[in-house]
Amino acid sequence: MAESPKSHVDVLMIGTGEYTTGYVHGKASQSDKSKGVVALTLIDLRRRGKTSRLGICGTNGKKFADIRKHMQQAIALDTFKPGDACVIFTPDDTHFEMALEAIRRGIHVMITKPAVKTLAEHQQLYEEAKKKNVLVMIEGLYQIYLLN
């Protein structure tokens, strides 16, 4: 008997800064992102039954005392299953490696722009995503700002 699809998806937020939490430099951000739009959106999706488990991890040990190792996302990704999703809102030069790790685990990915630095990285993400049959999306919030 075929397994029925999940009615929700578990989501890992990779990145603990303004976009995800609204928290930066030890306090709430003073910018227009002070509410942590990514976390709020995912919490609302959980309230509506679209997501279940939400996880969050940083890229270094500076923000939360219990994060000891650099690149904790690999450990956090291990706790999610193929078919789950992650959102990556981290420094630009970390997007490719994190997305590739998630894709190889069969996890859908949304990355803030720029997703990659080179055409070769783009092609590698494309090929890996095709192999694993996962979605890779690029967030473009600032594109909306430019249109207003």
pLDDT tens track for 74-112:
567 777 889 999 888 888 888 898 899 899 999 999 898
Output the DSSP codes for the chain: -PPPPPSSEEEEEE--SHHHHSEETTEE-SSTTTT-HHHHHHHHHHHTTSEEEEEEE-SSSSSSTT--STTTHHHHHTTS-TT-EEEE-S-GGGHHHHHHHHHHTT-EEEEESP--SSHHHHHHHHHHHHHHT--EEEE-HHHHHHH-
Largest CA distance in the chain: 53
Domain count, the chain: 1
94 domain-assigned: yes
Q: Residue 71 pLDDT > 50, yes or no?
A: no
pLDDT on residue 100: 93
The CATH number covering residue 69 comes to 3.40.50.720
1 domain-assigned: no
48 domain-assigned: yes
pLDDT tens track for 20-31:
776 666 666 666
Q: Residue 66 pLDDT > 60, yes or no?
A: no
Location of structure tokens 């600032």: 142
Instruction: Note down the domain range covering 122.
Output: 10-147
3 domain-assigned: no
* pTM for this model (two decimals): 0.71
Structure tokens given for 89: 């809102």
2 domain-assigned: no
pLDDT on residue 132: 96
**Residue 93 Cα distances to 14, 85, 97, 113, angstroms:** 14, 21, 9, 11
84 domain-assigned: yes
